[in-house]
Structure 1
C-alpha cells in the first residue's frame, strides 16, 4: 500500500479550503486520544462508524486540540496540513487506515510542541505488558510488528496495550507507555498466522482494504492495560544478510532509527527541528532500557520464539 505526500498550507489557505469542504461534511465525531480531543469531520458514514469503534469517546463540550477533515470523493489522494491550528485535510480518501493514522500523527505533532513541559511523545509501534512491565516492538511497515504482537497475546501472561501506535511519558527513573486507541484496526490475514484468533476475526466487519475494527477486550478476554512501565524495546528488520537476533547499544539503535525514518511513515512535518526532537527522544529512551534487533526473516513462529526466549 503506497504512502502519501503531505502539503503544508497556510492558515489562509486552510480557511479557503474549509469553506469549500463545509458543504461536504455530514458527520462530526470527537475522540479522546491520550487525553487530547481530536475532531473528525467527514462525508463518509463508514469513516464515522470506524472512528467511533476505534477511539475512545470525548465529551462534545470539549474544544478540539486538532481537527481532521476527511472526504471520500474519487480522485488522487491529497493530505494537507496547517500546523498552527493542527488541522489536517484528507481529500479523495478511500481507506480508513489513512484517517486514523493521520489523526494520531496530528495529535502527536501537538504533543511534540510541548515536549519540554509534559515530556510526552508518540511512537509508531506496538506495545504489550508482561507481568507489569512493557515490551515495545518497533519496525518499518511490513516487518511484522502487528503479527508478533498478536502472537505474544496467545500467552495469557501478556496484556494488550496497543498494536500500532503508543504514547510515552519520560520520567527521571522510568518510561511509562500508554495506549492510543480503544480497539484495534486489524488485518484479516492475522488469523491465517495465528489460528487461535480465527473465529473472532472472521466475525469482524471488513472494509475495502480487508481490515476492520476488532473489540480487543473480547478478543483477549479482558487482558487489556491502559499503561505500563517500559522494560525493553525490540526493533525489527527483514534482511537475509543479517543474523536473526542480537542486542544493540545506543549508537546502533540510533543509527537504525535514522536509517528507517523513525519507523514512521506518518510524520506530518519533516524538518530539522522536528528530526532533532525525535532523535533526542529516542536517545533518551534507548539509554534507559535494553534494546534488541529482531530480524524477521524466519517464520512468524520462530520470530515469536526469539522474543519468548528473551523474556525467559
Structure 2
C-alpha cells in the first residue's frame, strides 16, 4: 500500500472536522450505486475531476459518507477513517486515482454492511449479452485488456476499475458506478483506436486523465450493468509458460485471498470483514466460469487468449 490507513473514533473525526472546516471551499455530492457521498476540499482540480468522474447527486440529499481531501505539510500522507460516520480524511494525496478509489471504498463499506452488496476491484464488460470480469493485482494489465476487449463490436464497458455485485439464486449482477474513466495516456500506444480520445484529454501530474470513452465507442458502448458469466484473473509470471489456466473455485479463492482480493483500498480489514468478503467471493466464483490468464506475453497474443475465453472461440 502506497499510503497508510488509520481508523479513528468519531470524537477524533469531530476534532479534525472542526480544525479544518474553514478550508472546505468546495463541496460536491455524487451517487455511487445509490450511496450519496460528499466531497469537501480546497482543491479545485480534485473537485473538477470528481464531477467529471462520478454521477452527480442532488445537494438536497443527505450524504451517507464523506471524503475530506486536503494538504497539510505538518502531516504525513495518508487516510484517517471513521467507520461509524463513514468519514475519510485524505491528507497530502495528489493522485486522483487514490481519491476515487477511497470514495468507492467508503461506498463499499456501507453497502456490504447494510445491503450485502459487495465490491470487486476489477473491470467488467458485457460481451454479446454475457458479463466478463478481469480481476488482477496492480500492473498486470487489467485496464489494458478491458479497453482491448472494448474494441470488439459486441462489447460494452461497465467499468474498467471497480464494480458492485448483487448475488441471488440466479447469475450475479454487476453494476458500475463511474460516469467517466481515469486512464493512463499510454493506452493509445497499445490500442491506436483510442488516440483521438487521448489527444482531447487533459492529463494530470501522474500522466492520467478522466475521459469519456463514449467519444470513441459511441453512447451505447458504456452500460450500467451486466449479468456475470466469466471471471478472468490475471497474473504476470514470465516463469510460467502457460497463458490460459482453468481454475477451480477453491484455487481462485485462494489466489484472491492471498492477494488481498486484488484491492489495496479496503478501509476496514478486520476478521469480520475478511469473513464477509471471503464468503462473497466464494459464492461469486461458484456462479461463474473462472480462468487465470498470464499477461507476460505481448498484449496482442494475451488479448486473443482473453477473447477466446469470453467468446468461446467465436470472437471476430
1:94 aligned residue = 94
2:236 aligned residue = 238
SS in structure 2 of the partner of residue 205 of structure 1 = coil
SS in structure 1 of the partner of residue 230 of structure 2 = strand
Structure 1 residue 73: Cα displacement? 4.1
Q: Is the 8 A contact 1:126 1:165 kept in 2?
A: yes
CA distance in 2, matches of 1:102, 1:72: 16
Counterparts of 1:1-312 in structure 2, within 5 Å, are 3-74=2-73, 76-114=76-114, 118-222=115-219, 223-242=221-240, 243-310=242-309, 311=311, 312=313
Q: Is the 8 A contact 1:73 1:93 kept in 2?
A: no
CA distance in 2, matches of 1:295, 1:208: 31
CA distance in 2, matches of 1:91, 1:106: 16
Any unmatched runs of 5+ in structure 1? none
After superposition, what is the alpha-carbon deviation per residue over 1:52-74, rounded to whole angstroms, capped at 9, x for unaligned?
00000101111111100001344
Q: Which moved more, 1:144-153 or 1:235-244?
A: 235-244
CA distance in 1, matches of 2:159, 2:20: 33
CA distance in 2, matches of 1:171, 1:13: 39
After superposition, what is the alpha-carbon deviation per residue over 1:126-170, rounded to whole angstroms, capped at 9, x for unaligned?
001011111000000101100001111111110011000001110
Any unmatched runs of 5+ in structure 2? none
CA distance in 1, matches of 2:3, 2:199: 30
Q: Is the 8 A contact 1:188 1:202 kept in 2?
A: no
Structure 1 residue 219: Cα displacement? 2.7
CA distance in 2, matches of 1:251, 1:216: 36
User: Which runs of structure 1 show a deviation greater than 4 angstroms over 4 or more consecutive aligned residues?
Assistant: none
After superposition, what is the alpha-carbon deviation per residue over 1:206-238, rounded to whole angstroms, capped at 9, x for unaligned?
111111100122132121110110011000111
Q: TM-score under structure 2 normalisation?
A: 0.95
CA distance in 1, matches of 2:8, 2:264: 19
Structure 1 residue 199: Cα displacement? 1.6
Q: Is the 8 A contact 2:247 2:290 kept in 1?
A: yes
Q: TM-score under structure 1 normalisation?
A: 0.96
After superposition, what is the alpha-carbon deviation per residue over 1:183-211, rounded to whole angstroms, capped at 9, x for unaligned?
00111111111111012112100111111
SS in structure 1 of the partner of residue 22 of structure 2 = coil
Cα RMSD, aligned residues only: 1.1
CA distance in 1, matches of 2:191, 2:214: 18
